[in-house]
Each structure stands twice: as structure tokens, then as C-alpha cells.
Amino acid sequence: MKVAGIEVSPDHFIGGERVASSSTFTDYSPIDEEALGEIARGGQREADLAVTAATEAFPAWAALGASGRAVYLHRLADLIDANVERLAPVECVDMAMLLRSLKARLINRGARNYRSYADLAVAYEERVWDSNGTHNRVLRMPSGPAVVITPWNAPFMLSTWKTAPALAAGSTMILKPAEWSPLSCSLLADLVDEAGFPPGVFNIVQGIGEEIGAALVSNPAVSRISFTGSPETARHIGVAAAKNIVPFTGELGGKGPLLVFEDCDLEAAARKAAGQFDDAGQVCLAGTRILVEESVVEPFMELFHRFADEHVLGDPRSDDTTVTPLIHRDHFERVAGFVERARANGDEIVRGGQPAERGGLFYEPTLVIPRSNDSEIVQREVFGPVLTVQTFSEEDEGVALANSTPYGLSGILYTGSSERAERVGRAIRAGTVWVNTFLVRDLTAPFGGIGISGIGREGGDFALDFYSDLKTLQIAEGTTE
């Protein structure tokens, strides 16, 4: 099939070969809701084939060592950089992320993921010490076949973010991309093949989560499971992992606070707050709960609306567009449902609050003043262009509001005080807190959530440790060869 003029295989990639299924599902473009093609719909058969291929390939891949595996990862990274003009248009049409962002940042970030984790694995320094008459070392042992299940937003980058440390650590892979945006991961399989990866090291299977996803996470031959998605799905995966005593990590979304204190650069804070509508709000790290100190709420809101007015709803392939359509008709109805329930609850809709006039899957950037902090619109993740705004009078009250949901993925804080930055930054319960900035990521830093935002950490050595079994080797002093 051809998408954006690029040939894309609709089949799985298992054991180094393309594999079809007896049934398919239809993939639609969010841009116009037109069908892009019929995609192989895997189930128990394909899950078993992929796990078997990964299991058989594991011993040789593990035996290569970090330096041997790094050769393949660097080769794959180079191919990603060389194919940005193929990957970006396909993901744009399939997921409706801004084409300019994909070309400028996100696809190349995939290449950086593979290079960074390859180099981190090679540079690993064993912990070495002497005690109780023994010489001690901590060794990383590759854990075995790993299942990675990725979300529909930024699918290429997030797939590389998860698979890179797994491969670098010596695991073999079964990647299951989201059914709403599987195509850029199919292109990734082509690059894996071109990079010469041994058959079975990197497998990609497509399908519906309740079908092939469930079959993968329940397979007792799987040694690790990594998932990004909803807390509801994570609970099912966690049960399956627990039955087989398999380590599981999950990044499960957020409801991040964006605190604005009176001593901050108010214009910068308002611009960043209005920027949370980017990508139609389909960003788990977004600061969707705007919390403003009462003394500056009026000038802040004036600036916020001014910057929000600059947004342009449109085709993600256009350089003018800032707000894109939502991913799927089902998700559109979910977002609209949140706003309608908020309206019925007595929450005040001060901006937007309805489907956009241009139709399709576009929803107006929406701002809500909730009737109370218990409102559903405050307490649950919407994952759309919907923000709330609340006020506080004292720092402690602002922190309490920031920590008042069951989520804890990220937070944003704007202040001109270094003391407050340290104090409030420590007090906010979240896996990542940004002060006077947003979405700046260091690949060596831990990443993950608190509460229902997730379990475990990704990033740097934290990810490499997850995909490894750690061993303490103790050798008595005086032992001779």
C-alpha cells in the first residue's frame, strides 16, 4: 500500500520476514478520516510466532555483548537519519502530528535514542568492591525476549525510546504499535531489515490490543513488558505480568499542573500555557491544569487568550497549522464527552467547548473554570485540547492543588525565585518537574510517573537495568586461575 507516496507494508515483521494474517483492520487518517489501507490483524498465532522468533534469536544476540550490539544500533540510527523524508510524511498522515515537528525533531530523536542507548550500554561500569574476604562485581545479564506496547501519539519516537534500551541491554524484541497509527513502525521494520539485524531480534506485530496485545503479555516465555497507555489497560497487563512473575513498567498518562506565581515572567508563562493546545493536547506530559496566583490572574488571562488566539487549526502538513485534528472518531467523542459533562456539571466553559467549524476531527481549543477541584474535568485525563484554570492565594495552596489528583507524571512551574523553584519543585509529586521551561529531556535522566501515572522508570541506566538481570559475582580473595 502507498501512503503519502511512500510504499508501506501492511504485514507483520516476524523472524526477519513479512507475515500476513487471515484478518485485517482498517487504518484511517485523522486528517480526513479516509481509509489508508487494511492492516494485518494479529492474534494468538502471530503472538506465538513472534515470541518464538525472539526466544530463538536471544542467545546469539545476548552473546554479542554491548559493543557487538552497538554496531547494529548505530547502523539503524544512521538509516533513520537518512530516511526522515520517508518516515515523517507517513506518520503525519497516519497520526496527524505536525509535519514540521516530525522532520525537525521527532524522527531524528528516534535515531538519537538508538545511538545514546548503544553508547550507554558500552560505557557501563560494573560496580566493584571488596568485602568479607571477597572481591565483588555487579554484572548485567540480558533478560530475554521483551514485549513493548506503544501508544498512538508520536508512535515512531516512542517505539524507539523503548526498544533502544532493550536491544542495547541484550533483549530481543516484540513491538506492538497502537492500531490507530501503526504505519511508521512498519517502516521501522524495513530499516531494521536493511540494517542487517539477525532474524528474530526485532519483531513487529500489529493488531487490536485486546487480541494480540493480551496474547503477548500472557506468554510465559516473555521476560519483560513495557507499556505506554491508559491506567485501565495497564491494570490488565499488570495482572498478566504478575501471573508469570514478569517485571513490568508502565507510563500511564498525566494530568499535569502548570503553576504560575506572581513573581514569574508572566508573558512567558501565559505563552507556555496557551502552547499546551499544541498537537490537539494529545501529549501525556502537558500541563493541562493551569494554577494561577490570585494576584496576577487578570493580566495572566489576558495574555493567555491573546496567545491562544494565535492558534491555527488546520492540516498538519501546513506550516501555518498549530492545532491538529484528534486521532480518531472514537477519541473525538471521548474528548467531547468530557466537555459536555463538565458543562452539565456547572463548570464554566470560558473558551471553545465544541467541535470546530471546519468539521472532521477538529475540536476547538477549550478552557474550563471548574465548579470545584473535584470536577471530573480536573481529576481525569482528557488527552485533548482542553485545559482548566484555577486560582490560589498562597504557595501551600498552590502545591496542594498541584498534588490533588491521582496522577503524577509531570509538572510545570513558573517563578522568578530560585528558592521557590527549589522548594515547590521538590514539593510537587511528579516524575518530572520543569521550572520556567517545558519538554526539555535528557535521555540519561529517569522518566516515569507517580500514582496512576505509572510504575517503574525509563531513561538512561534505569532503562538498561530494567531489561537486565543483575548478578553479584563474589570471588574469594586468593582465588587463582
5: alpha, beta or left? (left if phi > 0; alpha if psi -120 to 50): left
**Is 333 buried (19+), middle (13-18) or exposed (0-12) by CB count in 10 A?**
exposed
How is residue 292 written as a grid cell?
Answer: 494561577
> From the CA atom positions of the chain, what is the Rg in Å?
23
d(CA 443, CA 120): 10
User: How much of the chain is helix, strand and coil, in % rounded to 5?
Assistant: 40, 20, 35
Catalytic residue among 251, 293, 364, 381: 251
Other CB atoms within a 10 A radius of the CB of residue 310 amount to 10
Reply yes or no on whether 284 is catalytic.
Answer: yes
Please answer whether residues 349 and 343 qualify as being in contact, where contact means their C-beta atoms are separated by less than 8 angstroms.
Answer: yes
Residue 459 DSSP SS3: coil
Catalytic position from the list 179, 284, 364, 458: 284
> What is the secondary structure of 193-249 as a DSSP string?
HHTTPPTTSEEE--S-IIIIIHHHHT-TT--EEEEES-HHHHHHHHHHHHHTT--EE
Helix (H) or strand (E) holding 343: helix 329-345
Nearest to 230 by CA among 342, 173, 153: 153
Whole-number Å distance between alpha carbons of 306 and 136: 62
- Look at the alpha carbons of 159, 164, 165, 170 in this order and tell me if their dihedral is positive or negative: positive
CB 446 within 8 A of CB 431: yes
* Residue type (1 letter), 310: E
264 is catalytic: no
Active site residues: 251, 284
